[in-house]
Structure 1
């Protein structure tokens, strides 16, 4: 089976949620675990779109909570492929609160390493990534650096 390269735009995922009372922690903010679930789902969907396979989350890097979100806030989550290896890929997930006038304020960013699985739940090769813009090339280079850091940390037992 030939694996063709795909464009970043081919697998972009954007989801929208509204913060409801059952999503709040005791401080009245969006519970971090709920947001983590939402962004993990987005990363998984990006990986599935890119590979047309089942994928698993291998790691999450740099999960940064920049600001809180509150009841009735509209949450927009956008995931994109930034890098592909042999059987894994990095997915960048940005989260925003969107105001009524459409302005998006960043509240979270995370980088997921997703691994493609074959029908036997074993890692399988992923399509290459066609980089079309300077921004995509810059993201690829930053992702390569993050991958190198992940590999060093793995060697050190982190």
Structure 2
């Protein structure tokens, strides 16, 4: 018997996380180590997907790690994650990373899209709730998510 899962709003699983950059987060050039930022992005993406699916998840892909701003010691990094698109068992999460200065102004460091897959207790993919897009921006993200999903399929076919 097929069980229908109630849809959720984007806001139901949205997450914001803050990090202070400490000396152990830096690379040899005195900037935040990209791998550290990638790990925080992965954590935020996983939390958003877990909250949406009400299941454990695994990261299947992370798109686009281009660093637009340098991040230095004592900076505040803000990671904002939200659901953008859902399939049957997979979900796309957008995580925006910002560096915040002492005045509270934020500059975009990176935007990443993660593909997360919901898992049942046996580690098998399980159906996820639909996504209710309430705003123009949320609907635009959904449509862009459909295009990104097709691009990912094309890349897999081409062994990209």
Q: TM-score, normalised by structure 1?
A: 0.98
SS at match of 1:63: coil
Does 1:77 find its partner at 2:83? Answer: no
2:133 matches 1:140: no
Structure 1 residue runs without a partner (length 5+): none
Q: Distance in 2 between matches of 1:62 and 1:52?
A: 26
**Structure 2 residue 8 is the aligned partner of structure 1 residue 10:** no
Question: Displacement, 1:67?
Answer: 1.3
Q: Supply the RMSD in Å over aligned alpha carbons.
A: 0.7
SS in 2 for 1:69: coil
1:125-157 deviations in whole A, cap 9, x for unaligned?
000000100000001011111110000001111
Residues 11-63 of structure 1 deviation map (CA, whole Å, 9 limit, x = unaligned): 00100000000000000000000000001000000000000100000011122
Which residue of 2 is the match for residue 89 of structure 1?
91
Residue 47 of structure 2 aligns with which residue?
Answer: 45
Alignment partners' CA distance in 1, 2:69 and 2:103: 19
Alignment match, 2:103: 101
Query: Contact conserved, 1:78 with 1:93, CA < 8 A, in 2?
Result: yes
Distance 1:62 1:3 in 2: 31
Deviation, 1:65, is 1.2
Contact 1:63-1:111 within 8 A present in 2 as well: no
Q: Within the alignment, does 1:35 sit opposite 2:23 as a pair?
A: no
Number of residue pairs the alignment of both structures matches: 158
54, 58, 61: which one aligns with 1:59 = 61
TM score, norm. by length of structure 2: 0.97
- Once the two structures are TM-superposed, the CA of residue 109 in structure 1 deviates from its matched residue by 1.0
Is the 1:18–1:73 contact (alpha carbons within 8 Å) kept by the matching residues of 2?
yes
Which 4+ stretches in 1 moved above 2 angstroms? none
